Structure 1
């Protein structure tokens, strides 16, 4: 089984580790709120064609390991996920909106994202091997 996904004109493996926090990093992601955040992230990622590899909702942050198709940008995915979960949380838990520190935002601005793939040493070896293979093929052609 290949680690690559397929679309009509592309074979891809775009996997990202994304991390973000609630506003002021309050430890609000517990109990029913955490369950709803978890559920919403799964739903909205699915609607965008993303595949969740791992999802962990901690009291003061969220870790998401996700495969994102190349037709989607990370900012598009996170904008939708953070925006829609915030709307859903404020709608379902209206008592949170009454707190003066939330304003109109549930999540802090921004996020941290890192690509996940082959390690650097493996890529270096692959590139080195490809160069040797090309040189051998050139010599055979002469």
Structure 2
């Protein structure tokens, strides 16, 4: 009998980093992503993001190809978004993704990072705006 404990931090973005993921879209998107993960034999641990990208922490079985798994997540979530939101009939994900294996010791920090995406990006946007004002002087 084999034993694995494969946890992944997956990140992928909207096409052209367009800000299409509103709170209403999140209400449809996150459950669909969780369902896809469960349907392929994985376990969704945490899903969050901001207007232009999502972060997923999940467990996937070793028999699954990461590329195929993420393709299923993107494909099924695209169909759901287009079906639920007429104004997003052109919704697409960017090609590619980031996928990182996680050390169980680091899980608490990674989960906090994913949970706090909106605050993290708000601070980053504020710092960027401040830097731009300084450069303009």
What TM-score comes out, normalization by structure 2 length? 0.71
Question: Could you list the runs of 5+ residues in structure 2 that have no partner in the other structure?
Answer: 106-137
Question: Could you list the runs of 5+ residues in structure 1 that have no partner in the other structure?
Answer: 1-8, 120-142
Map 1:1-142 → 2, pairs under 5 A:
9-97=1-89, 102=90, 106-117=92-103
Number of equivalenced pairs: 105
Deviation of residue 52 (structure 1)? 1.5
Deviation of residue 57 (structure 1)? 2.5
Residues in 2 aligned to 1:81 and 1:110: alpha-carbon distance in whole angstroms: 12
Render the CA deviation track for 1:84-112: whole Å, top value 9, x for unaligned. 10011111112212xxxx4xx51011101
Secondary structure, counterpart of 1:71 in structure 2: coil
Residues in 2 aligned to 1:67 and 1:19: alpha-carbon distance in whole angstroms: 14
Larger radius of gyration between Structure 1 and Structure 2: 1
Residues in 2 aligned to 1:91 and 1:30: alpha-carbon distance in whole angstroms: 15
Residues in 2 aligned to 1:91 and 1:56: alpha-carbon distance in whole angstroms: 21
Deviation of residue 114 (structure 1)? 0.9
Residues in 1 aligned to 2:71 and 2:52: alpha-carbon distance in whole angstroms: 19
8 Å Cα contact 1:22/1:107 also seen in 2: yes
Residues in 2 aligned to 1:55 and 1:96: alpha-carbon distance in whole angstroms: 21
Residues in 1 aligned to 2:96 and 2:32: alpha-carbon distance in whole angstroms: 19
Secondary structure, counterpart of 2:56 in structure 1: strand
Pairwise CA RMSD of aligned residues? 1.5
Residues in 2 aligned to 1:35 and 1:60: alpha-carbon distance in whole angstroms: 15
